[in-house]
Structure 1
Amino acid sequence: MREIILDGVRVADDTDAYVIAEIGHNHQGDLRIAKEMFTTAKECGANAVKLQKRHNKSLFTRQLYDAPYTGENSYGPTYGQHREALEFNTDQYRELQAHARDLGLAMFSTAFDFESADFLAKLDMPMYKIASADLNNTPLLRHIAAIGKPMILSTGGGTLADVRRAVDAIMPINPQLVILQCTACYPVENYEDMNIAVVDTFRREFPDNVIGLSDHESGIAMALVAFTLGGRVVEKHFTLNRAWRGTDHAFSLAPTGLRRLVRNLRRARVALGDGVKRRLPSEERPLYKMSKKLVAARDLPAGHVLTRQDVAIKSPGDGLAPYELDAVLGRALAQPLAEDANITFEGLK
Structure 2
Amino acid sequence: MHPKTLIIAEAGVNHNGDRARALALVGAAAKAGADVVKFQSFRADRLATVAATKATYQQVTTGEAQTQLDMLRGLELSADDEEQIAAACAASGITYMSTPFDAESATHLVHRVGVSSLKVGSGDLTNAPLLLHLARFRLPIILSTGMGTLAEVEQALGVIAFGYFRDATARPEPAAFANLLLDRATWTKLRAKVTLLHCTTEYPADPRSINLRAMVTLREAFGLPVGFSDHSRGIHIASAAVALGATVIEKHLTLDRNLPGPDHRASIEPDELEAMIAAIRDIEAALGDGRKVPAPEEIPNRAVARRSLIALRAVLAGERFTEDNLGIKRPGNGVPPIEYWSYLGKTAGRDYAANEAIEP
Task: Give the TM-score range, shorter chain.
Answer: 0.7 to 0.9
Matched, 1:99 2:64: no
Please give the secondary structure, in 2, of the residue aligned with 1:109. Answer: strand
SS of corresponding position for 1:312: strand
| Alpha carbons of structure 1 residues 202 and 94: separation in structure 2 relative to 1, 3 Å | same
Q: What one-letter code is carried by the residue in structure 2 that aligns with 1:203?
A: R
Distance 1:29 1:306, change over 3 A: same
Superposed, 1:127-138 pairs within 5 Å as 127-138=117-128
Distance in 1 between the 2:80 and 2:119 partners? 21
Instruction: Return the alpha-carbon distance in structure 1 between the equivalents of residues 122 and 68 of structure 2.
Output: 21
The residue number in structure 1 matching 2:194 is 177
Structure 2 residue 328 is matched with structure 1 residue 313:
yes
> What residue is the counterpart of 1:43 in the other structure?
31
Residues 200, 294 of structure 1: CA spacing in aligned structure 2 closer, same or farther, 3 A cutoff?
A: same
Q: Secondary structure at the match of 1:308?
A: coil
Residues 167 and 258 of structure 1: CA distance in aligned 2, closer, same or farther (over 3 Å):
same
Shift of 1:120: 2.1
Instruction: Name the structure 2 match of 1:7.
Output: none
Q: Pick from 170, 188, 203: which aligns with 1:186?
A: 203
Normalized against structure 2, the TM-score is what?
0.85
Residue type at the aligned position of 1:318: N
1:217-296 correspondence runs (5 A): 217-296=232-311
CA contact 2:48–2:68 (8 Å) conserved in 1:
no
SS in 2 for 1:173: helix
CA distance 1:79–1:278, shift in 2 (3 Å): closer
Q: CA offsets, 1:248-300, max 9 Å, x none?
A: 11121111211111111111121111111122331234443332211111111
Structure 1 residues 78 and 180 mapped into 2: Cα distance closer, same or farther (>3 Å)?
closer
2:79 maps to 1:90: yes
The equivalent of 1:197 in structure 2 is: 213
- How far is the alpha carbon of 1:102 from its aligned partner? 0.4
**Contact 1:171 1:177 (8 Å CA) reproduced:** no
Distance 1:159 1:304 in 2: 74
Equivalent AA in structure 1 for residue 81 of structure 2 = Q
Identity %: 34
> How far, CA to CA, are the matches of 1:14 and 1:169 in structure 2?
31
Give distance in 2, aligned partners of 1:88 and 1:14.
37
Residues 333 and 79 of structure 1, relative CA distance in 2, 3 Å threshold: closer
Match of 1:303 in 2: 318
1:140 aligns with 2:116: no
- Report deviation, 1:82: 3.1
Deviation, 1:17, is: 0.5
Deviations 1:158-181 (Å, cap 9, x if unpaired)? 110000000111023234211111
Q: Which amino acid aligns with 2:202?
A: C
Q: CA deviation at 1:244?
A: 1.1
Matches within 5 A, 1:155-170: 155-170=145-160
* Range with bigger deviation, 98-107 or 119-128: 119-128
* Partner residue, 2:186: none
Give 1:222 shift: 1.6
Deviation at 1:242, TM superposition (A): 1.1
The CA distance in 2 between the partners of 1:332 and 1:63, in whole Å, is: 95
Q: Which residue is equivalent to 1:114? A: 103
Greater mean alpha carbon deviation, residues 115-124 or residues 128-137: 115-124
Aligned partners of 2:115 and 2:99: how far apart in 1? 10
CA contact (8 A) 1:132 1:153 kept: yes
Q: Give the paired residue count.
A: 328
Q: CA deviation at 1:70?
A: 9.8
- Identify if the C-alpha distance between structure 1 residues 64 and 335 changes in structure 2 by more than 3 Å, giving closer, same or farther: closer
Distance apart, 1:121 and its partner CA? 2.9
Structure 1 stretches lacking a partner, 5+ long: 1-12
The residue aligned with 1:55 is: 43
In 1: Cα distance, 2:240 partner to 2:59 partner: 40
Partner of 1:8: none
Any conservation in 1 of the 2:2–2:285 contact (CA below 8 Å)? no
Task: Name the structure 2 match of 1:10.
Answer: none
Task: Go from structure 1 to structure 2 and tell me whether the alpha carbon gap of 1:206 and 1:71 turns closer, same or farther (over 3 Å shift).
Answer: closer
Give the gaps of 5 or more residues in structure 2. 165-189
Alignment of 1:9-28 (within 5 A): 14-28=2-16
Q: RMSD between aligned alpha carbons?
A: 2.2
